[in-house]
Structure 1
């Protein structure tokens, strides 16, 4: 748990966690795992983050696809609840079925999540659990060239960043990586909000991923609350480059011995110049339509050989308290700045109308 410079706890008051649960035919094991994880999440997060009863609110938005690909439903928005029993009941009612073509209605689910009634001052996180990409990113056999609801996921992610909502993607593998663009796209989408993509090869590990991610998010929020004003003053008041602000914060936290609980999941993906280029294309594009022509074909398998096929091993997962790393310091700085900024493609930021540095 992080502490202030004088050693006092800076425990978060509450956290809102929204599951965007793919409810198409292949997702039965993951829905079951999420159902089983709810009590574990409440108990472990409450104990580790010193949250009182009722301080954790769960949201659930199930999604399938747009007609004519699927005629059952596009999204089912269950809203927020602080009751474990209600969340479990909502998950109990989900049946994995349908889906139509490969891509699904993730964009509609993201739009629903953005428009939920989030608690003021709460740590806010969205967990997207899926084995498929959204419509419009250039996958073979996609029944649509864009999301039929006219929303763009890149723009939705930038709005999430401005509102302090962090997106994490649980990539159900090896299914997701069979798509040409999905892995690189989701890495960019999560990165816009300073979130992460976590590859999941065993459904029963889903609870561990969510618990670790939630606790790490809460502890990151404590650091944002402590340093946000100083960070924003450095960036907009003193016009200090963000990289320099990040180095300064990282050094300060290292010198004072700050540690936070951190979820580390082994990277199962083969990285390449092409995949890195694609992620940067999605990051810098104003819309997915603008990015598609610039995305290049990645050569070779996306997942390392030891994680696929007969005898495949699961990625190593560790959750431990450790000194804050540069990636976490970057998240604190970026999220502090984004919450007082308008976020443009590529991550460019200008002071928002609510910021004291706004010039009109």
Structure 2
């Protein structure tokens, strides 16, 4: 069992903690802030035998913690991961790994130099339907066009319009549509097709942050389009079009619940490969690799996370979206 210290007390932590012990982990500590102490203590009483901290530095000193799960606002990911690696801890970091490419590269180097595990927790590429999609690509001929749409109207956008800027829409906290749901699209595309030759990002920008946008990726022999929106909604739709047929997924890329193949001869098949929790697959993989000391597989996944960071950094630059981390 991986002895896990949790940094954060938000929604994703409350989703992970009740289940993580089933996936190869023993939650041994949770860390919040003095302002969230009541909530932190409540989580600790339920899941970590009452062990909690109000400062991250104190949790990093806990010798019983061997791996840190970082689930704090985006702009803090880099410093939290950096400090955990410096303290000799393995790390699972919620997506996005960092705010930009420079930070991602620094963390990749730090993890490798220390011989530690570092994972980006992005559900997409670990889900069975994603893996099935990869297997089916050869059956639709030469890829010509790819499109994906992940659009969810956010209640936080109501607050944003009313003048309250929450982290999800705060450029100072590395927010925005691309860094939230758009990153799942990007992980899906890069996981399937690798690095594009070029990327453009046309974004709807309000108060210096993208509330929605359209990204185009040029793969040379085919083109891809990614739509991500937090200011409007639309049906989720992921389509890979080839000369012999197409693949269709109508669930968002962070769930990947089913995939359908339609061949030009009219033959269709649908595959539904749903885990009990969308988080289960990634956490099981991380625990298995740590148990087997499989740093090679870890670093291969980390390289892909760095590539996603490279493309999102280029996309933001194209749209003129600047985070404080870009100017550091």
By the TM > 0.5 criterion, same fold? no
Q: Comparing both structures, which one devotes a greater share of its residues to strand?
A: 2
TM-score (norm 1): 0.31
Please report the TM-score for the alignment, with normalisation by the length of structure 2: 0.33
